[in-house]
Every structure is written in structure tokens, then in C-alpha cells.
């Protein structure tokens, strides 16, 4: 996939219905994270904060969020099998494989995988009957999740990781601004 320039941040409608609000906010954070990885090379995607014990990298966060998109929307909500590369990933050997594999992938592979997973999730949302639609898979003790809960959870997950990516990107090249 060619990434000549980053996508514009979505304009948020401040008085939209619930589905539109959740979709726009989720897409906003997806785009913010995508901006954090924009134009970085493989080394920059795998760069950690200096003098910090964390394994977090922008590439790792992007791969992690691709996994999270597929886990929540494809596997749990639709009940479909895990798509690749997750189905054959060596999670038994490395629980945080998705964070570590980013150092082995080209930057374009990371961005492509992220975009593929996001595109699948967007289709799930569009094709769902309502926010009240329940997941096929269930929590062992509390039952199924509705689409609303999954979307709110994804917004929370993105918000947290976008903060991490902000710090990492600033340390890499000083970029601090997404506003275009």
C-alpha cells in the first residue's frame, strides 16, 4: 500500500446520533494512531524511548491495534476464525509477539496490516443491525458483548495507545501535531 500523505483527521459532528458519534470517534483515534506511524522507516517504527524499560514502539502499537481490531470485531463479535498473521503467530512462545514482530516487518507491512484490520472492522460496523447486536462469542462469566460496548472499549484502547505513540513519535523526530 502506498502512503503518499496521511489521511485527514475526521471532522467530528458534535450533535450526531449514537452510532455516528461512536464511529466518528473510533475513526478519529484510528487516524491519530496512523499519523504517528506515517513516513517512519523500519528503524523508527521499532524505536523505543531511550533510558526506559518499556518494549513499546510505534510499530508495535500499530500491530497490536491491528490484532485488537481483529480480535474484537472478527473473532469475538462475528465468531469467525482468527485471520492471519494472528492464527499462526507464536503467542505461546512470546505473549507480546505483536509488539515485538514490528521490528522484523517493513514499515509498509505494518501500515498495511493495520489498515486491513481497520477496514474489516469498519465493514462489521456498517453491516451490523444495531449497536445492540450481540457478539457470537461470549465472556465466560458475563455473556456476550453488544456492538456498543465493543466500540466504546476500542475508543478507550486507542486513546490509551495514542498517548503512548505521541510520546514515542516526539522522541523519534519531534512531531507533536496531527492537525491538518
- Average pLDDT value over all residues in the chain: 93
pLDDT tens string 63-106: 999 999 999 999 999 999 999 999 999 999 999 999 999 989 99
Strand boundaries in the chain, DSSP class E: 134-139, 143-146
Residue 180 confidence (pLDDT): 46
pLDDT value of residue 2: 55
Crossing angle of the two packed helices 18-37 and 107-127, in degrees rounded to 10: 180
Domains of the chain: 18-173 (1.20.120.450)
Among residues 27, 9, 29, 34, the alpha carbon closest in space to that of 159 is found at 29
Give 107-129 pLDDT, tens digit per residue: 999 999 999 999 999 999 999 99
Q: How far apart are CA 8 and CA 52, in angstroms?
A: 32
Whole-number pLDDT of residue 142 = 96
Is the overall model pTM greater than 0.85, yes or no? yes
Amino acid at each position: 500500500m502506498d502512503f503518499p500523505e496521511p489521511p485527514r483527521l475526521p471532522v467530528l459532528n458534535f450533535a450526531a446520533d449514537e452510532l455516528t458519534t461512536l464511529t466518528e470517534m473510533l475513526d478519529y483515534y484510528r487516524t491519530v494512531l496512523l499519523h504517528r506511524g506515517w513516513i517512519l522507516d523500519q528503524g523508527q517504527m521499532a524505536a523505543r524511548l531511550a533510558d526506559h524499560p518499556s518494549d513499546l514502539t510505534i510499530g508495535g502499537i500499530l500491530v497490536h491495534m491491528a490484532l485488537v481490531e481483529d480480535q474484537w470485531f472478527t473473532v469475538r463479535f462475528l465468531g469467525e476464525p482468527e485471520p492471519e498473521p494472528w492464527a499462526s503467530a507464536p503467542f505461546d512462545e512470546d505473549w507480546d509477539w505483536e509488539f515485538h514482530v514490528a521490528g522484523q516487518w517493513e514499515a509498509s507491512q505494518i501500515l498495511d496490516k493495520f489498515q486491513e484490520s481497520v477496514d474489516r472492522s469498519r465493514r462489521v460496523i456498517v453491516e451490523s443491525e444495531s449497536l445492540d447486536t450481540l457478539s457470537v462469542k461470549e465472556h465466560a462469566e458475563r455473556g456476550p458483548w453488544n456492538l456498543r460496548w465493543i466500540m466504546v472499549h476500542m475508543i478507550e484502547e486507542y486513546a490509551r495507545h495514542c498517548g503512548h505513540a505521541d510520546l514515542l513519535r516526539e522522541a523519534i523526530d519531534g512531531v507533536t501535531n496531527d492537525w491538518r
